[in-house]
Homo-oligomer: A and B are copies of this chain.
Amino acid sequence: MAANPQESLTSAQQELYDWLADYIGTHRHSPSIRQMMQAMGLRSPAPVQSRLRHLQQKGWITWQEGQARTLQLLGDVAASVGIPVLGAVAAGGLVDTFDDVQDHLDLAPVLETRGLFALTVNGDSMVDAHIADGDVVLMEPVTDPQRLRDGTVVSALVAGSGTTLKHFHRQGPTVVLEAANPSYSPIELPADQVQVQGKLVAVWRQV
């Protein structure tokens, strides 16, 4: 990956981040703050806390506060799974030849998102959204359905019925689940009978 989306670091922050990348790469688990303290040659946990806070604010790391050793690196150094994107390919017309790498498709950030789950698609109600029967959809758990953008593709549990993959709309007290296929009519239900489980993150179709 070319440039980092993250903000630049001070030397002290960089030092900690590099050591973390090395430690996690070797041990396969995060060190504790006091271990970081020792490795940095410090005699107090406060500087480490400070550096970690800055690293998090700048988008380099994340962790579950209150829990031990749950730190995760977000940068591209974190053994990311990169696939070179060579260029655009066509449809209809023809696109120029490509020789060099233009970008990197970095799946690691997606895969590292906590709680991500997958569903196999069954049926054709979403074909107009280019989600076909047999596809696997990657979903991110939704905790607050109120914040969903209108039209988001979600998997929803309908009380007493089952789970379905649809476009999500909210109309006052009711919820509308709309298919992407004219053969299916929208389902309109009271909000309390629909439990949104996750929103669509990616479509995966292995040939």
Contacts and interface: CB of A to CB of B under 8 A. Distances in A.
Contact of A202 (B117, B161, B201, B206): B206
The 10 A-B pairs of least Cβ separation, nearest first, read: A91-B123, A91-B125, A94-B162, A90-B164, A68-B68, A89-B119, A88-B122, A203-B205, A94-B161, A69-B69
Contacts of A115: 26
A46 interface: no
Nearest to A27: B114
Nearest to A109: B206
Interface residues of A, number: 78
- Please indicate which of the listed interface residues A86, A110, A179 has the most CB atoms of chain B within 10 Å of its own CB: A86
B203 A86 contact: no
Given A127-B130, A130-B132, A162 B95 contact: yes
A126 interface: yes
Interface of A: 26-30, 32, 67-72, 81, 83-98, 105, 107, 110-112, 114-127, 130-133, 135-138, 153, 155, 157-158, 161-165, 179, 181, 183-184, 199-207
Given A29-B30, A83-B118, 19 more contacts: A26-B115, A26-B116, A69-B69, A85-B118, A88-B121, A89-B165, A90-B123, A91-B123, A92-B124, A92-B179, A92-B183, A93-B123, A94-B158, A94-B163, A94-B164, A107-B204, A130-B132, A202-B205, A203-B204
- Please indicate which of the listed interface residues A68, A90, A111, A157 has the most CB atoms of chain B within 10 Å of its own CB: A90
A122 to B, nearest CB: 4
